[in-house]
Copies of this chain bind each other. A is one copy, B any other.
């Protein structure tokens, strides 16, 4: 099933088929010829061979999205947003899971850029300085690559402000153990907010992005006597809930918890989690748009910052004392 078959069936040459189907025959191919070609293609169920086209044009019409861990529900929604935007631009998005493995991350990026993909979206990856092809970074600090990210500063400020306003003075930080710059920004901003109020974080713990590990890391924060904890992420907040339950500490009566991301499960936690809500679909869509611009050679803002907002639910309240 090739364009040659279509040509034969339509009684024209192969190049005419190509011209018609690519739309480049505009005003060069007669209407009857065009109709005949289209009908033949339709009847035969012809689909252009992607590999041949890619080889000839040097363009794959595919972009890669590299995420650190597909298991995190956040990425699914980023992918969906990127995929929607990409599809309407005639691109496909290939998701690759780096499995939290830095080497594989780099290998994947190279492999992708070597041909299968025209560009890559790098989530939370502080990209190799010499990223070879078209790339856009997501959720990292400004660097060599154009960046699309959440307004973590505003989000953190809002969260800390909320805690302070409720009267908390002993605030802990359940931080992500993975050293991504977005998390460093949160830590920094948290400390700044606390300092401005004449405070210091009571305790800080670095936790893996997974409930049990986070719970283990969270336990010491409880011992340190925090009345509130800012968690870098909702997954970590989930771990905090686990640790609190284990230690029979009541949320929010004895402990206030704030998360980040507003993952779906945040609402079903008991009590529902107060968290900084982000729009992952928008993040994915914006990242694709930026990448499309990069690939087109258009100017791209070095940094695009998407708004977030604090959603106050049941996990925060006034401190007990």
Contact = CB atoms under 8 A, between A and B. Distances in A.
A244 B80 CA distance: 31
A257 to B, nearest CB: 12
Interface in A56-95: 60, 62, 70-73, 75-77, 79-80, 83-84, 92, 94-95
A211 B73 contact: no
B60 A51 contact: yes
Contacts of A83: 96-97
A208 to B, nearest CB: 13
A50 to B, nearest CB: 4
B264 A210 contact: yes
Interface stretch (A29-37, A134-142, A167-175, A267-275): A267-275
A260 interface: no
Contacts of A96: 83, 92
Contacts of A159: none
Interface string A240-264: 0110010000000000000000001
A269 B267 contact: no
A248 to B, nearest CB: 12
Contacts of A75: 76
User: Chain A: interface secondary structure?
Assistant: helix
A215 B242 CA distance: 23
A72 B242 CA distance: 22
A121 to B, nearest CB: 14
A110 B48 CA distance: 12
Contacts of A116: 50, 62, 92
Given A73-B76, A80-B71, A116-B92, A238 B268 contact: yes
Given A92-B116, A97-B80, A245 B267 contact: no
A115 interface: yes
A49 interface: yes
A96 B86 CA distance: 12
A47 interface: yes
A71 B71 contact: no
A114 interface: yes
Contact of A70 (B80, B110, B114, B238): B80
A115 B55 contact: no
Contacts of A143: none
10 contacts: A48-B115, A49-B55, A49-B115, A50-B51, A50-B115, A51-B51, A71-B80, A72-B76, A80-B99, A211-B264
The 5 A-B residue pairs whose C-beta atoms are closest, nearest first, are: A51-B54, A50-B115, A47-B114, A70-B76, A270-B270
Given A50-B115, A242-B267, A269-B270, 16 more contacts: A48-B114, A49-B115, A50-B54, A50-B116, A51-B51, A51-B55, A52-B55, A62-B116, A70-B79, A80-B99, A92-B94, A92-B96, A95-B95, A210-B264, A211-B267, A269-B269
Interface of A: 47-52, 54-55, 60, 62, 70-73, 75-77, 79-80, 83-84, 92, 94-97, 99, 110-111, 114-116, 210-212, 238-239, 241-242, 245, 264-265, 267-270
